[in-house]
Amino acid sequence: MSTYYEEVQEIKAQYPDGRSAALPALRLAQEKHGYLSPEALRECADALGTTPALCEAVASFYDMLHLAPTGRHIVEVCTNVSCALVGAQQVLESFEQELGIRAGETTDDGEVTLRPIECLGGCGWATVVSIDHHYRTHVKPADVPAIVQELRSGE
Amino acid sequence: MASEQRLIVMAGTDERDLTRLAEYEAIDGYSALQKARGMTPQAVIDDVIASELRGRGGAFFPTGRKWSFVPKPEQNPNPHYVVVNADESEPGSFKDNEIMSRVPHRFLEGCLIAAHAIESKNVFVYIRGEYTGPYEILLAALKELEGRPDLRGDVTIVLHRGAGAYICGEETALLESLEGKRGQPRTKPPFPAGQGLYASPTVVNNVETLATLPPIIEMGGAEYAKLGVPDSRGTRVVSISGHVERPGNYEIENGTSLRELIYDLGGGIPGGRDLKAVIPGGSSTVILKGDEIDVGYDFNSLLKLNTAMGSAGVVALDDRCCMVQLGIRISEFYEHESCGKCTPCREGTRWMTQILRRLESGEALQSELDLLLDVCDRINGKCLCPLGETAAVAVASYVEKFRGEFSAHVEQGGCPFGDASPLHDVLAPVAMGGHLPSAVPV
Ligand SMILES: Cc1cc2nc3c(=O)[nH]c(=O)nc-3n(C[C@H](O)[C@H](O)[C@H](O)COP(=O)(O)O)c2cc1C
Ligand code: SF4
C-alpha cells in the first residue's frame, strides 16, 4: 500500500499543474484522518508542496470538506424543493427521532452525524438521502429505522 | 407533437445495458468517433454548427460557435483543454446523473469527438463530489477504454471530483476549482475559449451537450437539425419532479408542450389535485402559473413567457403549496451557495430570506413586499456571475405572479397554508448557520 504522500504525487502527475490535486488530496486526507484536523492539513500541504493555510482556505469553501470532527458515518437528507415536496422534512425528523439527535448534531458515541443538505441531483427519486456519500432513493419515514439499524450494526 | 419520448441521447437504453463497452459497440458505439476522426477538425465544427446544437448546461449557447472561438494550435501553441461540466447541482435537475449512469460510453465518445474538434489531448471531467454512483460507472467505463488505444487514441481523460459547491457549475468557478482553488467565478472576458484552464484555450461543455455529439456526427448535423423547432433543435433530456405521478427523466423533442410533459409523460398531479405552479427549468428560472403550461418546451416559446429551459428541471407544485415558503427555500439555497465575492449577491440573498421569513411568520408590513422586490432589483445586474441575478429574478417572479397570496400573509398576520403546505418549516442547511457539522461531543 502506498503512503498518503505517494498517492498525492500520483494524483498530481495527472494534471499539467500539480496544484489541481488540491481537492483530491484534501478528500484523501479527510478519509485518512476522519476530518481535516490541523495535522491532516499539514500532511496535505506537505504532499501538495504548499501551506496548511492555503489548504484550509480551499477546504473551507466546500461543503463536503470538514474542518471540524464528524461522526464516523454521515447521513445527509436533501431538503431542497423537489424532495421537500414529497416529504423530506418528515424523513429528516424520523432520522432525528431514531438517532436521538437534532439535525446538525452527532450522536454521543461519535457514530453518526445527521444534516440536511442542498439538492443532491436525484429530484425524481425523492426523498434522496446520502449515506456516507452513497445515495438511497425514494426514502420514506418508515424506511428510517432499518437504515439506522444498518448503520449501527457497523456495515 | 406526440407526447412520446424521442431517444437520441438515451437511445438503446431500453434494450441494453450500455454501461458495458461490448454492448455499446454492438449498437455501433464509437463509430461516430471513427467517422469524426476521418474528418478535419474544422469539418467536425462545421457539422456541429449545422446541427444547431445549443448547450444543455443552462446558457443554451451554440456549441459549434463556441468551439470556433478556440484558437487553432498554430495561433496559440498552449495545450488545448476540453473540460466537462458534470457538476449538476441546480435544484430540479438530475439528467446528467442519469446520462452518465446509463450511457457513459456515449458521453465519453462525445468527449473524444470534442477533443478532436478543438485539437485537444486532455479532457477533464469535473463531476460533483456527491455523485459517487455516476463516478464509479464512469471510472469503470474509462477502465474499459484504457484497454482500447484504437478508441482512446492519444487523449487522456481525467475524472476530477468536486467537493460540494453549486457555484462550481458556473464555468469559470469550475475552472478555478479545477485549478485547486476556492470556486469563485472569474471576471469575463477573457473567456475560457481563449484563456481557460491554466490560461490556455479551453472548451467547457455540459455532459448532455457532449453525449449528443455521437448521434449528431452519425446522422449528420443537417439531419439532426430537422428535429425540434427553430432555435431549439434536437432533443432534450428533461427532469420532471415534484408533484407528478411519474417523476423521472424523459428525452423529448424540443417544442413538446409543457402540459404533455407534466400530464402525459409525468402522469399528472397525484391525488387528482390542481397544478398550482411549475418551475420550468430548474430553480433559477421564472415560475409559471398552473394555467401557463400550454407552451412549447423550447427557447422561443418559453422566452415569450419571460422564462427559459435553463437546465431542463421541471418541478410541479400542487395547490397545497405556499409560494412564500417556496421563496424561503429557494432564497435559502442561493444564500447558502453564494460564493461571497459580490456584496449584492452575498448580502442580498440573506435579506431576501429575512423578509420572506417575516412574511411567513406574519410580522411583515405590506410595504415589505415592495422592499423585497427592491432588494431583488438591487441584486439584478450588479453581480459578477448569474447566480445572484437568477436568485433575484426567480424569487421576484413568485411575488409578481402570486402577489395576492403574498399580501394575504400580511393581512392575515401569518401563512394561510401553514403546515398543510409540504414546504412548511423545511430545514435548510443555511438555517443551521453555515455548512459545517457541529463538533462531536467530547
Ligand atoms: C450558478 C451557475 C451554475 C451552473 N451550473 C451548471 C451545471 O451544474 N452544469 C452545467 O453544465 N452548466 C452549469 N452552468 C452553466 C455553465 O456556466 C456553462 O454555461 C455550461 O457548462 C456550458 O456548457 P454547455 O454550453 O454545453 O451548456 C451554471 C451556470 C451558473 C451561472
Ligand atoms: S453573483 Fe454571487 S455567486 Fe456569483 S460571483 Fe458574485 S457573489 Fe459569487
Residue with cell 457541529: B438
Say which ligand is closest to the CA of B310: 1
d(CA B67, CA B42): 10
Mean pLDDT of B171-190: 98
Residue with cell 411519474: B246
d(CA B164, CA A121): 12
Tell me the helix, strand and coil percentages in chain B, rounded to 5: 45, 15, 40
- Ligand 2: nearest atom to the Cα of B337: 3
* Each residue's pLDDT tens digit, B246-279: 999 999 999 999 999 999 999 999 999 999 999 9
Q: 3-state class of A42 per DSSP?
A: helix
**ipTM, two decimals:** 0.97
Residues A147 and A81 in one domain: yes
The reply to whether omega before B185 is within 30° of 0 (cis) is no
B169 forms bridges with which residues in the sheet? none
pLDDT confidence of B432, banded at 50, 70, 90?
Answer: confident
Buried b (16+ CB within 10 A) or exposed e, B365-375: eeebbeebbeb
Whether residue A9 is contained in a domain is answered as: yes
- Nearest beta carbon to residue A71 from set B177, B181, B440: B440
- Boundary-marking domain end, from A61, A81, A101: A61
Q: 3-state class of A121 per DSSP?
A: coil
Residue among B84, B104, B85 nearest B9 (CA):
B104
**Amino acid letter, residue A12:** K
Mean pLDDT of B292-317: 98
- Is the per-residue pLDDT at B313 higher than 80? yes
Mean pLDDT of B324-333: 98
Residue with cell 456549441: B63
For testing contact with chain B, the best of A11, A33, A81, A112 (most B CBs within 10 A): A81
Tell me, in angstroms, the distance from the centre of ligand 1 to residue B400's CA.
Answer: 27
Q: Which protein residues touch ligand 2 with a CB less than 6 Å away?
A: B 167, 185, 338-342, 345-346, 383-385, 387-388
- Is the per-residue pLDDT at B434 higher than 60? no
Whether residue A66 is contained in a domain is answered as: no
The CATH number that applies at residue A107 is 3.40.30.10
- Nearest beta carbon to residue B429 from set A66, A87, A116: A116
- Nearest beta carbon to residue A66 from set B249, B428, B437: B437
B129 in contact with chain A, both atoms CB, cutoff 8 A: yes
CB B424 within 8 A of CB B417: yes
pLDDT on residue B2? 46
Q: At A86, phi and psi to the nearest 5?
A: -110, 20
- Is the per-residue pLDDT at B437 higher than 90? no
The distance of B103 to chain A (nearest Cα, Å) reads 17
Say which ligand is closest to the CA of B171: 1
**Amino acid letter, residue B12:** G
B164 in contact with chain A, both atoms CB, cutoff 8 A: yes
pLDDT on residue B441? 40
The distance of B388 to chain A (nearest Cα, Å) reads 17
Q: What angle do CA B432, B438, B441 make, to 5 degrees?
A: 145
- Is the per-residue pLDDT at B31 higher than 80? yes
B43 CB contacts (<8 Å, ≥6 apart)? none
Q: Whose CA is nearest to atom 25 of ligand 1?
A: B55
Residues 45-74 of A with CB under 8 A from B: 48, 57-58, 61-71, 74
Say which ligand is closest to the CA of B65: 1
pLDDT on residue B3? 66
Sheet of strand A134-136, all strands in order from the earlier edge strand to the far edge: A112-117, A73-78, A129-131, A134-136
Domain around A94? 73-153
- Nearest beta carbon to residue B437 from set A24, A70, A135: A70
Residues of chain B with CATH 3.40.50.11540: 21-226
Residues A83 and A139 in one domain: yes
Please compute Rg for chain A using Cα positions: 17
pLDDT on residue A1? 63
Burial class of residue A153 in the structure, from the number of CB atoms within 10 Å of its CB (0-12 exposed, 13-18 middle, 19+ buried): exposed
Residues A121 and A84 in one domain: yes
B79 contacts on A by Cβ (under 8 Å): 16
- Is the per-residue pLDDT at B440 higher than 70? no
Share of chain B above pLDDT 90, in %: 96
Mean pLDDT in chain B?
96
Q: 3-state class of A112 per DSSP?
A: strand
Angle of helix A52-59 versus helix A22-33 axis, rounded to 10 = 90
B435 in contact with chain A, both atoms CB, cutoff 8 A: yes
Sheet of strand B122-127, all strands in order from the earlier edge strand to the far edge: B156-161, B122-127, B81-86, B202-206
Residues A52 and A81 in one domain: no
Whether residue A101 is contained in a domain is answered as: yes
A56 contacts on B by Cβ (under 8 Å): none
pTM of the model: 0.97
Write out the H or E segment, with its range, that includes residue A10: helix A4-13
B255 forms bridges with which residues in the sheet? none
Burial class of residue B264 in the structure, from the number of CB atoms within 10 Å of its CB (0-12 exposed, 13-18 middle, 19+ buried): middle
Counting DSSP H helices and E strands in chain B, the numbers are: 19, 11
Pairing of strands B235-242, B313-318: parallel
Whether residue A54 is contained in a domain is answered as: yes
B346 in contact with chain A, both atoms CB, cutoff 8 A: no
Residues A84 and A132 in one domain: yes
Residues A88 and A148 in one domain: yes
Whether residue A141 is contained in a domain is answered as: yes
pLDDT on residue A155? 57
Share of chain B above pLDDT 70, in %: 97
Residues 285-324 of B with CB under 8 A from A: 313, 315, 317, 321
d(CA B104, CA B115): 17
CB B419 within 8 A of CB A84: no
Q: At A123, phi and psi to the nearest 5?
A: -50, -30
CB contact under 8 A, B439 and A106: yes
CB B72 within 8 A of CB B120: no
Residues A8 and A79 in one domain: no
CB contact under 8 A, A119 and B181: no
Mean pLDDT of B312-333: 98
Pairing of strands B235-242, B248-253: antiparallel
d(CA B283, CA B390): 8
Q: 3-state class of B381 per DSSP?
A: coil
The distance of A95 to chain B (nearest Cα, Å) reads 13
CB contact under 8 A, B96 and A121: yes
pLDDT on residue B162? 98
Q: 3-state class of A75 per DSSP?
A: strand
Enter the CATH code of domain B21-226: 3.40.50.11540
CB contact under 8 A, B422 and A85: yes
- Is the per-residue pLDDT at B33 higher than 90? yes
Answer whether CATH 1.20.1440.230 is correct for domain B323-420: yes
The distance of B28 to chain A (nearest Cα, Å) reads 30
> What is the DSSP secondary-structure string of B288-339?
EEGGG--SBSSHHHHHHTT---TT-EEEEEETT--HHHHHHHHHHHHHHH--
Give the C-alpha distances (Å, rounded to integers) separating A53 from A50, A68, B183, B381: 9, 15, 17, 34
For residue B17, the Cα-to-chain-centroid distance in whole angstroms is 25
Residues A90 and A54 in one domain: no
The CATH number that applies at residue A48 is 1.10.10.1590
Residues of chain A with pLDDT under 70: 1, 155
CATH topology (fold) of B230-318: Ubiquitin-like (UB roll) (3.10.20)
Residues of chain B with CATH 3.10.20.600: 230-318
- Boundary-marking domain end, from A39, A61, A83: A61
Domain count along chain A: 2
The distance of B428 to chain A (nearest Cα, Å) reads 6
d(CA B251, CA B236): 5
Whether residue A68 is contained in a domain is answered as: no
Residues A38 and A93 in one domain: no
Say which ligand is closest to the CA of B83: 1
C-alpha cell at B315: 418541478
* Each residue's pLDDT tens digit, B52-73: 999 999 999 999 999 999 999 9
Residues A131 and A104 in one domain: yes
Pairing of strands B248-253, B288-289: unpaired
Mean pLDDT of B131-153: 97
A105 contacts on B by Cβ (under 8 Å): 438
Residues 94-153 of A with CB under 8 A from B: 103-106, 108, 110, 113, 115-126, 130, 133-135
pLDDT on residue B44? 98
Residues of chain B with CATH 1.20.1440.230: 323-420
Query: Is residue B170 lining ligand 1, measured as CB closer than 6 Å?
Result: yes
The distance of A82 to chain B (nearest Cα, Å) reads 5
* Each residue's pLDDT tens digit, A118-148: 999 999 999 999 999 999 999 999 999 999 9
Query: Is residue B61 lining ligand 1, measured as CB closer than 6 Å?
Result: yes
